[in-house]
Structure 1
Amino acid sequence: MHLARTTALALAGLLTLVTPVPAAAAAPAAPRLPAPTGSHAVGVTSLHLKDASRGDPWVPAAKARELMISLWYPATGTRGRHQAPYVTPKESELLIKDAELPVAPDTLSKVRTHAFTDAVPAGRNRSLPLVVLSPGLGSPRSSLTSLAEELASRGNVVVGIDHTYESVATAFPDGRITTCVACENKDADFGQQVVRSRAADVSFVLDQLTGAKPKWRGAALIDRSRIGMAGQSVGGASSIGAMVSDKRIRAGVNLDGTTFAPIPERGLARPFLFMGSPTMHSPGGKDGSWGRDWKQLTGWKRWLVVTGAEHASFTDVPLLAEQLGIDLGFALTGARSVEITRTYVAAFFTRHLTGKPQPLLDKPSAQYPEVRFAG
């Protein structure tokens, strides 16, 4: 099966494989994400960025690479602010059409989040770590919203990137909607192409947020010496690619992504976390890329396998699907998979971006018996 349907089935593509439950069991019209557990209120804002130094890798006629990003951050002054939409109505329509879901076209735009649009950023200058999130192929940046809100509530700035033409739907401020041109690519080295392109996207975004003239009004809060990255599916693979090419990224997480671009022979000495599903990413599982790359990770590392998880379990997909009355057939519930993903990813970045010990990462936990230490 083509890469676009094997590594990127996170929000739209995966749901083409599910079976709706009977209409009588349909869930409420407005699904909601779980509240974040940190002590900070969360703000969110979106930015349109343009990299005029390079053309678009998927649409040659586009002479500049344009990106939409969302920034989640600790906030103050949320009174009177509106809770942010999960996606726009048009993005929802295209995602639902692509997935052939038996729900209203605007359903995903009504998902209840916990971040407040354009709330005032809170914190001291140069005090907050920055975490980059990269979604699976075909999926929008919103597919990792529950993780983003959790990390922001714990005192991080989080930037989610829509890698243009790699998502089923990306809305721009001028009304344009781009679709997943890359999903139709059949090149033998397509996986490596995506990883290279995303590494360039990430470096550009970091430049825009931490450079001399940052594009976000809260950029002064970011501690440029404490930057991490996590991603799901090919977004997770791109965490490695971005770390190899950009030394500003101190720590990385791959959530169930085949690593198409191997780590160079010199290795990667910065902290890294593999966290995946048992079918694909147990030692000896169907995908062997983690075993290959494990040997090249020469710094702090962990390899966690989550019993009952599937490829999309590390996104918002299972949680939203259950509330929409869609049976994915996963052994692990959406609420539990979100809790596990949030808890372990947050512990990883707390340990490696703030230096605070996290015993959860040292040995199996009775609180999370689903999580097995494979390395």
Structure 2
Amino acid sequence: MRSFEMLFIVINILLVGWILFAKNKSQRGLLIGFGVSAIIMLMHGVIEGMRWQMIPAYAMTAVPLLIFAVRSMSKLGEPVERTAKKMPRAKLVTVTALAVIYSSVAVALPLILPIFTFEKPTGPYKIGTVTYDWMDDRREETLTPDPGDKRELMIQIWYPADSKAKGKTDSYISNPDVFAEGYSQVLNLPKFLFTTFGYVQTNAIKNAEISNREPAYPVLLFSHGFSGHKNQNTFQIEQLVSHGYIVVGIDHTYSSTASVFSNGRVANYVPQDTSSIAYLDKANEGWVADAKFVLDQVEKLAGNDPDRRFTGRMDMNNVGMFGHSFGGATSAQMLMTDSRVKAAINMDGVLYGKLRVPEEGLKKPFMMMSADDTIRDATSTDDKAFAKFIEETLPRYKHVAVGGNYWMKINEMKHMGFSDLYLFSPLYEKMEGVDIRKAHRLINDYSQDFFDHYLKQQPFKRLEQNIGEHPAFTLEKG
């Protein structure tokens, strides 16, 4: 709950309590109570923005004004304490109970659907961000009926910003209405539930000056999961950038929640056959082509950025990639097929794609992160179709850690815990049994340690020191 929201609700609950139980409630006191509540509501609206989850609290502001108006209309000339009759006990109990229920709703709604915040990154750098709209003229768009369509991608780049950089932090979602509709379609839930995303702010400053602390920074590509989006892992991206990485997030058009292009055109998610392993293996080739194209464009920026921000500032000799779910599979395929990618992390992605991990291992630095729920044994489910799916895909993991690579299996973890999604509501955490902030810190600590070693040549601080079983995870090294 945001600061003014909290203050506003506390003031209004105290105001209702005063109205119910105070013996002397003068007309002047009612006006003062209304005025204080209205001023705080106005400040909340201007500074934080009003939202529907606060409607019960907003309505409480009108209570003292309504009582004032009723009294004025009845033309009671005597002091309130001399004319007011004591409320019958049964009526007082009923009114009090209703007030408690109403106040509970007023508190619960903004808590269940909060305007969540991202933890402050721990690194020494501030964060800048910029977006690009890139068209791949060499590739046809296969997910639209028009044969003339070319593959177009929205890209967001986060980078270490100058310590003196100032400006308003960037919104998490740039087009709230579009993404609320997108989330609604993808998750099959009412659109109004997702309007809170429009109020969430990040720690990144749009178009900030790049930091001169280092001559150049390693580059990481990020690929989201099916129906995700390029900034769905802001919790992780900002942490990495704050420690000296440039992160390039890719929206895989028509497979993302939504893509909003520079001319305002919207490309919504197109349902695909995500139950077919053969289809997903083939579809992954398109995602790999997206990543290769984006890396080509990044190389051009590094060589000659028209805005002169990234020219010479991207360390293209130290490029890594990480992704969630289908994007994790894309990261593994990129590691195997693109020599520019030196190290990769797959976060809970089934190993879809053209290539399989060979028996001798990848021979390049790789780390697999899995939720214990994802890699459970096929015999643990009564769903025959899902059991068959596990039996067919689980063997693909067999050699992921061979050759000195890593496989981290996180306990009490679910698939979507590797993204920002569970921050949306504490109900998600309760239903899924995931301590999401704790899980995010674990992911951040080990993904940073992995990239710091292989792209910055720094000694390990965690990975090598924690091989084996632990309360929160098991870490295997091949």
The within-5 A match list for 1:75-94 is 75-76=161-162, 79-87=165-173, 88-94=175-181
Q: CA separation in 1, counterparts of 2:430 and 2:124?
A: 33
Q: CA separation in 2, counterparts of 1:359 and 1:135?
A: 27
What is the match of residue 367 of structure 2?
Answer: 273
Contact 1:340 1:368 in 2 (8 A): no
Of 414, 423, 428, the match for 1:310: 414
- Counterpart amino acid of 1:45? V
Rate the CA distance shift 1:192–1:66 in 2: closer, same or farther, 3 A.
same
- Counterpart amino acid of 2:176? P
Contact 1:271 1:299 in 2 (8 A): no
Instruction: Give SS of 1:73's match.
Output: strand
- Counterpart amino acid of 1:112? Q
1:178-197 alpha-carbon deviations (Å, 9 max, x no partner): 11125357765221123211
Of 205, 216, 232, the match for 2:324: 232
Of 58, 63, 66, the match for 2:149: 63
Q: Report deviation, 1:373.
A: 1.6
The answer to which structure has the higher helix fraction is 2
Rate the CA distance shift 1:185–1:311 in 2: closer, same or farther, 3 A.
closer
Confirm whether residue 173 of structure 1 aligns to residue 262 of structure 2: yes
Q: CA separation in 2, counterparts of 1:326 and 1:239?
A: 27
What is the match of residue 182 of structure 2?
Answer: 95
Q: CA separation in 2, counterparts of 1:78 and 1:172?
A: 31
Instruction: Give SS of 2:373's match.
Output: helix
Of 123, 136, 161, the match for 1:38: 123
Q: CA separation in 2, counterparts of 1:292 and 1:226?
A: 27
- Counterpart amino acid of 1:295? H
Q: CA separation in 2, counterparts of 1:278 and 1:366?
A: 15
Percent identity between the aligned chains? 25
Of 257, 260, 263, the match for 2:356: 263
What is the match of residue 25 of structure 1?
Answer: 108
Q: Report deviation, 1:343.
A: 1.1
- Counterpart amino acid of 2:127? V
What is the match of residue 6 of structure 1?
Answer: none
- Counterpart amino acid of 1:131? L
Q: Report deviation, 1:319.
A: 2.1
Rate the CA distance shift 1:75–1:102 in 2: closer, same or farther, 3 A.
same
Q: CA separation in 2, counterparts of 1:78 and 1:139?
A: 33
Q: Report deviation, 1:58.
A: 1.9
Of 245, 249, 253, the match for 2:337: 245
Query: Unaligned regions of 5+ residues in structure 1, if any?
Result: 1-20
What is the match of residue 5 of structure 1?
Answer: none
1:51-86 alpha-carbon deviations (Å, 9 max, x no partner): 101112322525311000111110016654121111
Tell me the TM-score normalized by structure 1. Answer: 0.85
Q: CA separation in 1, counterparts of 2:286 and 2:106?
A: 42
The within-5 A match list for 1:209-220 is 209-211=298-300, 212-214=303-305, 217-220=309-312
Instruction: Give SS of 2:432's match.
Output: coil
Query: Unaligned regions of 5+ residues in structure 2, if any?
Result: 1-103, 381-386
Contact 2:135 2:151 in 1 (8 A): yes
Q: CA separation in 1, counterparts of 2:434 and 2:253?
A: 31
Of 431, 447, 456, the match for 1:329: 431
Contact 1:317 1:334 in 2 (8 A): no
Alignment size in residue pairs: 353
Rate the CA distance shift 1:280–1:39 in 2: closer, same or farther, 3 A.
same
Contact 1:210 1:219 in 2 (8 A): no
Q: Report deviation, 1:290.
A: 5.7
Contact 2:368 2:400 in 1 (8 A): no
Instruction: Give SS of 1:206's match.
Output: helix
Q: CA separation in 2, counterparts of 1:275 and 1:185?
A: 21
- Rg: which structure is higher? 2
Rate the CA distance shift 1:231–1:135 in 2: closer, same or farther, 3 A.
same
Which segment drifts farther, 90-99 or 293-302? 293-302
1:315-370 alpha-carbon deviations (Å, 9 max, x no partner): 11122322xx5555222212111111111111111111111111310143899730
The within-5 A match list for 1:280-359 is 280-281=374-375, 287=390, 289=393, 291-295=395-399, 298-322=402-426, 326=428, 329-359=431-461
Tell me the TM-score normalized by structure 2. Answer: 0.68
Confirm whether residue 164 of structure 1 aligns to residue 253 of structure 2: yes
- What is the alpha-carbon root mean square deviation over aligned residues? 2.8
What is the match of residue 223 of structure 2?
Answer: 134
What is the match of residue 199 of structure 2?
Answer: 110
Which segment drifts farther, 201-210 or 118-127? 118-127
Q: Report deviation, 1:215.
A: 6.6
Which segment drifts farther, 170-179 or 155-164? 170-179
Q: Report deviation, 1:97.
A: 2.1
Instruction: Give SS of 1:158's match.
Output: strand
Contact 2:132 2:155 in 1 (8 A): yes
